[in-house]
Amino acid sequence: MRILILGGTRFLGRAVAQLAVRQGHDVTCAARGVSGVVPTGARFVPVDRDDPDALVSLGGEGFDAVVDVTRQVSHARHALAALADHVGHWSFVSTISVYADNTTPGQTATDAPVLAPAPPDVDGPVGADHRWYGECKVSIERLVRERMGVARSFVCRAGLIVGAEDPSDRFPYWVRRLAAGGEVLAPGRPTDRVQFVDVADLAAWLLHAAEARLAGTYDAVGPAMSRADLLAGVAAGLGVADPVLTWVDQEFLLSRDVREWSGERALPLWVRLPEGGGLMDRDARPALEAGLAVRPLSDTVRATASWMTAHPAAVRQGGLDPVDEAAVLREWQAVRNG
Ligand SMILES: NC(=O)c1ccc[n+]([C@@H]2O[C@H](COP(=O)([O-])OP(=O)(O)OC[C@H]3O[C@@H](n4cnc5c(N)ncnc54)[C@H](OP(=O)(O)O)[C@@H]3O)[C@@H](O)[C@H]2O)c1
């Protein structure tokens, strides 16, 4: 295939480009080159999509498939205007943040309600909390379906993406924490659900979708698992035997200002229940039936750990600081014993 990746300089886009090169495809990546470099073997075309005409010259080349990861509505609109008539299949990487209901477990992409599109004066996510992120992705999904037609569009709503080159502080937190050993603060209940998708599995599925001309709207998530299985699996992937986990109640954590999901004082892959009960417990069956192949957790852990070791400066050190974790554990033991 002649494949055009709009992105390709970091994490998922780079993984798609890397695998496409390895599979023997003719790969072009269009980006500014600010976030990183494209993989060896891919052609890099420097463009700034803030310029509405940035992709016009690529239109004449013709591509079998496009993969776009943008969050900016105007970037998608201009890309579609320049390329849609010269492209066979369009994959848009969207997000489960498009959904309106984060509480109900087991929802399926085809019938779950989504947010309203972004207002006309909003072009992309705003501020540290990425306000309007989901709404912008909804707007872009619509543009893709309208301009490419439903039969040539693959809308792939990713859950948490994990694995090598992950620029976030989420999955890497648990790899680092379990590798460090000692008493580990495990949030909530062992049975709470967690869900994610390996970046390499997602990259492979996007390429499969392009080759098979897969159309439609899917959640890109692996099967949900319990948090106990996640933490045991991370430990096993690292070769850590018998990790010492102390499960701490949600309400106690919240009362000690331990935060959810991501960032300072946060425990990643942990969200308040029941409010966030739908976020990491979506129906993965449609994706699995449509070709998403999920590797063993231990492979994901090892790929993440190897990358973290090789690129320590690239790994964000977010999450609950070890000193704060120890203090919360001490207080929790005091309450339980007291
Ligand atoms: N990470 C997660 O857990 C998660 C979860 C759900 C969904 N998603 C979605 O998954 C996708 C992840 O994509 P990704 O990992 O490849 O990273 P990304 O951060 O979305 O990458 C953005 C890409 O677009 C390029 N870009 C940004 N501004 C540009 C501009 N003005 N002109 C041209 N290119 C521009 C960047 O390259 P340059 O900066 O070099 O130009 C980069 O390659 C996104 O769609 C995200 O919304 C992520």
In angstroms, the CA 244 to CA 252 distance is: 19
Model confidence at 316, in pLDDT bands (50, 70, 90)?
confident
Which of 191, 220, 223, 217 lies closest to 204, judged by CA? 220
> What confidence tier does 206 reach under pLDDT thresholds 50, 70, 90?
very high
Site residues for ligand 1, CB cut-off 6 Å: 7-13, 31-35, 47-50, 69, 71, 93, 95, 158, 160-161, 168
Banded model confidence at residue 87, pLDDT cuts 50, 70, 90 = very high
Locate the ligand 1 atom nearest the alpha carbon of residue 167 and give its number. Answer: 1
Q: Is the pLDDT at 116 greater than 90, yes or no?
A: yes
Is the pLDDT at 322 greater than 90? The verdict is yes
CA of 51 to the centre of ligand 1 (A): 17
Please determine, for residue 313, whether its predicted confidence score (pLDDT) is greater than 90: no
* pLDDT for residue 314: 85
Centre of ligand 1 to C-alpha 35, Å, is 9
**Where do the domains of the chain lie?**
2-158, 171-194+224-282+295-337
pLDDT at 318: 83
Q: Residue 232 to residues 170, 186, 238: CA-CA distances in angstroms?
A: 17, 11, 10
Q: Is 36 exposed, middle or buried (0-12, 13-18, 19+ CB in 10 A)?
A: middle
Q: 49 alpha carbon to ligand 1 midpoint, in Å?
A: 12
C-alpha to C-alpha distances, 117 to 134, 147, 186, 282, nearest whole angstrom: 8, 16, 37, 22
Q: What is the pLDDT of residue 11?
A: 98
Q: With contact defined as beta carbons under 8 Å apart, do 135 and 122 qualify?
A: yes
Q: Which of 89, 95, 65, 92 is nearest to 77 (CA)?
A: 92
What is the CA(239)–ligand 1 centre distance, in A? 33
Q: Which residue has the higher pLDDT, 167 or 179?
A: 179
- What ligand 1 atom has the least distance to the C-alpha of 69? 45
**In ligand 1, which atom is closest to the CA atom of 50?**
31
Quote the ligand 1 centre to 7 CA distance (angstroms): 6
CATH domain 2-158 topology? Rossmann fold (3.40.50)
pLDDT higher than threshold 90 for residue 338? no
Chain-centroid distance, C-alpha 65: 21
For ligand 1, atom 1, the nearest C-alpha belongs to: 161
Percent of the chain with pLDDT over 90: 95
In testing the pocket of ligand 1, which one of 9, 27, 83 has its CB within 8 Å of the most ligand atoms?
9
**pLDDT at residue number 337:** 86
Per-position DSSP letters for 159-212, written without gaps between them: --EESTT--SSSHHHHHHHHHH-SEEEEES-TT-EE--EEHHHHHHHHHHHHHH
| 128-159 per-position pLDDT tens digit | 889 999 999 999 999 999 999 999 999 999 99
Structure-block tokens of residue 329: 């554990």
Nearest atom in ligand 1 to 36's CA? 40
Calculate how far, in angstroms, residue 311's C-alpha sits from the geometric centre of ligand 1. Answer: 20
Q: Please name which of 111, 176, 139 lies closest in space to residue 317, comparing C-alpha atoms.
A: 176
Please tell me the distance from the alpha carbon of residue 284 to that of residue 41, in angstroms, as a whole number. Answer: 33
* H or E element at residue 299: helix 297-310
Please tell me the distance from the alpha carbon of residue 301 to that of residue 203, in angstroms, as a whole number.
Answer: 17
Q: What is the per-residue pLDDT across 231-272, written as a single tens digit (0 to 9) for each?
A: 999 999 999 999 999 999 999 999 999 999 998 999 999 999
Which long-range contacts (C-beta less than 8 Å, at least 24 apart) are formed by 327-335?
328/185, 328/248, 328/253, 328/256, 328/258, 329/183, 329/185, 329/246, 329/248, 331/256, 332/246, 332/248, 332/252, 333/246, 335/252
Give the Å distance between the CA of 328 and the centre of ligand 1: 35
323-327 mean pLDDT? 97
As its CATH architecture, domain 171-194+224-282+295-337 has Alpha-Beta Complex (3.90)
Atom 44 (ligand 1): residue with closest C-alpha? 69
Minimum CA distance residue for ligand 1 atom 5: 160
Residue 304: the pLDDT is: 98
Mean pLDDT of the chain: 97
Report which secondary-structure segment, H or E, holds 51.
none
User: Two tokens at 200?
Assistant: 């390499």
Give nearest CA residue, ligand 1 atom 7.
95
